[in-house]
Amino acid sequence: MNLYHYASPSTFYPLAGKLIPWFAALAFLLAIAGLYISFFVAPTDFQQGEGYRIIFIHVPAAWMSMFIYVVMAFWSAIGLAWNTRLSFVMARALAPTGAMFTFVALWTGAFWGKPMWGAWWVWDARLTSELILLFLYVGVMALQAAIDDPRRADRAGALLNLVGVINVPIIYFSVKWWNTLHQGSSVSLTRAPSMAQTMLWGMLIMALAAWMYTIAVALARARTLVLERERQTEWVRAQLEGQP
């Protein structure tokens, strides 16, 4: 199999167009199944009542927010090492979705924290690192938006992305350290030991749905980016004859 064949924008564009509906359908079905488990199968928590059902989106969103950042760094590294334009496009297409999931994780964290901790915002280690992750996403997106030349924007964003991904574990460790020193809250959002099997399944299926959604949305965004960048080529001109 020739990887370079798939790395060429003219092959990628129609292929992505064919794949997007499948991933979108998968995301939809998985989300339905996940929501069914979260509301109709998972039992009421004896400690937190029905309020705990928020974790069925909070935890998958938090997973995805970190995972997407790492995947972005992966594409950035590939792009910088082999100079493949499509890798940069993928890294760039993932950023807004990653930022969206980070925001959702923060928002649901606040809505979980209000009834459980009595405050919308607590400087808990996880919430704080998630907030800094959002800042990192915003930084990459702001840098790419500020540079007009796409070649430079790609590379600059990729470098910042790589610096960020090296820093994320250090930031997480330092925030955790800071939190324990300042007597952080003893309740944590994810409670691994007492978690029932069905809860875990619900979270996993929701995470899979979020994953499929991310692939569909990122491919769609990458397609538009490719279209814009390759506007001078023959194949894009041929594409424009059809429907969007």
Partner 1 sequence: MLKFLFTVIRRDVLLAGRRRGDWLTAQFFFVMVVSMFPLGIGPEPGMLRTIGPGVVWVAALLASLLSLDRLFADDYRDGTLEQMLLSPSPIALLTLGKAIAHWIINGIPLLLIAPLLGIQFNLPAEALWMLVLSLAIGTPILSLLGSIGAALTLGLRGGGALVTLLIMPLYVPALIFGAGAVEGVLSGTGSEAHLSLLGAFLMMSLLLAPWVSAMALRVSVE
Partner 2 sequence: MIWNSWQVFWAMGGYGLYVWGSFGVTLLCVVAEVGLLRRHRLQVWRRLKRMKSWDIQ
Q: Which residues bind partner 2 (CB under 8 A)?
A: 39-40, 43-44, 49-51, 53-54, 57-58, 61, 96-97, 100, 103-104, 107-108, 111-112, 114-115, 213, 217, 220-221, 223-224, 227-228, 231, 236-237, 240, 244
Query: Given the complex with partner 1, which of 119 and 142 has the nearer CB atom?
Result: 142
**Phi and psi based region of residue 183 (left: phi greater than 0; alpha: psi -120 to 50; beta: remaining):** left
How many angstroms separate the CA atoms of 164 and 142, rounded?
14
DSSP 52: G
Q: What is the DSSP string of 62-117?
A: HHHHHHHHHHHHHHHHHHHHH--HHHHHHHHHHHHHHHHHHHHHHHHHHHHHHHHH
Tokens 């099997």 sit on residue? 197
Query: Given the complex with partner 1, which of 74 and 123 has the nearer CB atom?
Result: 123
Query: Given the complex with partner 1, which of 24 and 153 has the nearer CB atom?
Result: 153
Cα torsion angle, 116, 117, 120, 122, sign: negative
150 binds, among partner 2, partner 1, none (CB under 5 to 8 A by kind): none
Applying CB under 8 A, among 44, 47, 83, 167 the residue interacting with partner 1 is: 167
54 binds, among partner 2, partner 1, none (CB under 5 to 8 A by kind): partner 2
Strand ranges inside the chain, DSSP E: none
139 binds, among partner 1, partner 2, none (CB under 5 to 8 A by kind): partner 1
The residues of the shown chain that bind partner 1, judged by CB under 8 A, are 80, 132, 135-136, 138-139, 142-143, 146-147, 152, 155-156, 159-160, 162-164, 166-167, 170-171, 173-175, 177-178, 181
